[in-house]
Chain A
Amino acid sequence: MSSKTEQREPEHVQTLGHEEYDPIGTAILIGIYFLILVLLWIFMYFVEFLGNGPTVVGMALTVVGLA
Chain B
Amino acid sequence: MNIHTYEKVWLVAAMVLIVGFIATITYGAVGPGIAMIDDEGGDINPDEINDDERFAEPGVEHVGGNEYEVAVVAQAWSYTPSQIEVPANSEVTFYVTSRDVTHSFSVVGTNVNTMVIPGQVSEMTVKFDEPGEYGILCNEYCGEYHHTMEGKLNVVPEDEFDMTELSVEADDEVESGNETTITANVENGMQEDLETTVSLEIGDETREEAVTVPGDGSEEVAFTVDSADLGEGDHDWTVTVDDYEESGTLSVVTPDGNESADGGDGDA
Contacts and interface: CB of A to CB of B under 8 A. Distances in A.
A and B touch in the complex (CB under 8 A): yes
A39 interface: no
Contact of A54 (B93, B110, B114): B110
Contact of A59 (B35, B65, B110): B35
A58 B33 contact: yes
A55 B67 CA distance: 16
A50 B124 contact: no
A58 B125 contact: yes
Interface residues of A, number: 27
A52 to B, nearest CB: 5
B6 interface: yes
Contact of B6 (A18, A23, A61): A23
Contact of A50 (B4, B17, B32, B37): B32
Interface string B92-134: 0100000000000001011110100000000111111100000
A24 B4 CA distance: 11
14 contacts: A23-B6, A27-B9, A37-B17, A38-B17, A54-B110, A54-B111, A54-B126, A55-B111, A56-B36, A56-B111, A58-B35, A59-B40, A65-B65, A66-B67
